[in-house]
Amino acid sequence: MTNPSAASAANLPLIEDMYDRWRRDPQSVDPSWTFFFDGFQAGMDRSGSAPATKDGSDHIGISRLIRRYRDLGHLV
């Protein structure tokens, strides 16, 4: 993968499909994606990560913080 901007939310369905194919057969996708998927897999395999919240409250709180910073950050 020579263009890191290809890994954006707009391309998520394509990337998920390629990742599934890569997990089944790494030779089935372009070799340039191997480094990307290896790094992604290593990130998922890390131990000691915080457990995910069931209700998504962390995500909601972070989204609110970002929105407030965008709206009021210039006052800080």
Supply the pLDDT for residue 67: 81
Give the whole-angstrom CA distance, residue 61 versus residue 10: 23
Q: Up-side HSE of residue 8: CA atoms within 13 Å toward CB? A: 5
Q: How many domains would you assign to the chain?
A: 1
Average of per-residue pLDDT across 17-30: 88
Note down the domain range covering 50. Answer: 4-75
- Which of 19-28, 45-54, 62-71: highest mean pLDDT? 19-28
- 44 vs 33, which has greater pLDDT? 33
Tell me the pLDDT band of 29, cut-offs 50, 70 and 90: confident
Task: Report pTM.
Answer: 0.45
Average of per-residue pLDDT across 50-55: 59
